[in-house]
Amino acid sequence: MDAAVSVIKYARIAWAGATLALLQACANQIPATEPTSGRMERELVSHSLHIDVGEPRVLASPHRSIKVTESRLFTLTQFDSAGNQLDQQDQFQSLPWANQQVELVVGKVRVSRQTDQDGQLRLNLLDEDFVGLDFDEVRIITLSVSAGPGVQTDATLLVGRELRSKLREAEQLIYDNLEEDDVNQWVYRVQRLAALGLDEESSQLENMLILLTTGDPQLQGDFIQALGEATTQE
């Protein structure tokens, strides 16, 4: 009797062990369920550049602030973990064309300028790059920007007749040899630039002449005195 009980107990233990082993094997074959989230896809629809040359389009001054903006249009599509589309919307992005190149064509001169961090650059037709340019022949200024194939744009500015005449005279006043002139002619240059409405260039020339005469206090004093007297007489 005792032997029979022992056999029954042993059989139960063996069956329980086999069952546990089978359950563990099944558990190892069934992958654990992990939470998954949806995904978002962004597709570029359009990419463009815009040059704001300001108003009026006809320049009356040699200076003009230019701003370049880069724009992108995206389509945003949201999917769940099963790949079903949940939502779709447009996203518009407009940023300054920062620290990028702008090509300028002024008459027969082609130069490159770089925008600042705000996407701006300053056009100055009295820069050294344009010295010797026949302003009588300059009618149109073209600005071009490119962000790669298919992403480029141009803009134009017109140069007014009065400005063309002013630029021709201003260039001579600024860039002609100063050493051949006397103090009174220096004063005339400074004042004439101011009379043409070019206060910035007038101030720059005055400061440059003061710096150039630093090594000759007598000449520097004569220039400052003559400039002061001429200013008082105005």
- Look at 156 and 229; give whichever has higher pLDDT: 156
Q: What is the mean pLDDT of the chain?
A: 86
* Average pLDDT, integer, range 22-50: 69
Contact 230, 191 (CB under 8 A): yes
Percent of the chain, pLDDT > 90?
Answer: 73
Q: Token pair of 37, please?
A: 């989230």
The pTM (predicted TM-score) of the whole model is 0.75
Give the rounded distance of the alpha carbon of 74 from its chain centre. Answer: 21
Q: How many CA atoms lie within 13 A of 121 on its CB side?
A: 23
CA–CA separation, 165 vs 170, rounded Å?
A: 9
| pLDDT tens-digit map of 8-25 | 444 454 444 544 444 455
CA–CA separation, 87 vs 13, rounded Å?
A: 58
Beta strand pairing call for 63-79 and 85-96: antiparallel
Class of domain 39-161: mainly beta
- Beta strands of the chain (E only): which ranges? 39-52, 58-59, 63-79, 85-96, 101-106, 109-114, 120-124, 140-146, 152-159
Does residue 73 surpass a pLDDT of 60?
yes
Q: Which H or E element spans position 38? A: none
| pLDDT tens-digit map of 77-111 | 999 988 899 999 999 999 999 999 999 999 989 99
| pLDDT tens-digit map of 125-184 | 999 999 989 988 899 999 999 998 889 999 999 999 999 989 999 999 999 998 888 999
Whole-number pLDDT of residue 37 = 65
Does residue 62 surpass a pLDDT of 50?
yes
Whole-number pLDDT of residue 77 = 95
Contact 213, 223 (CB under 8 A): yes
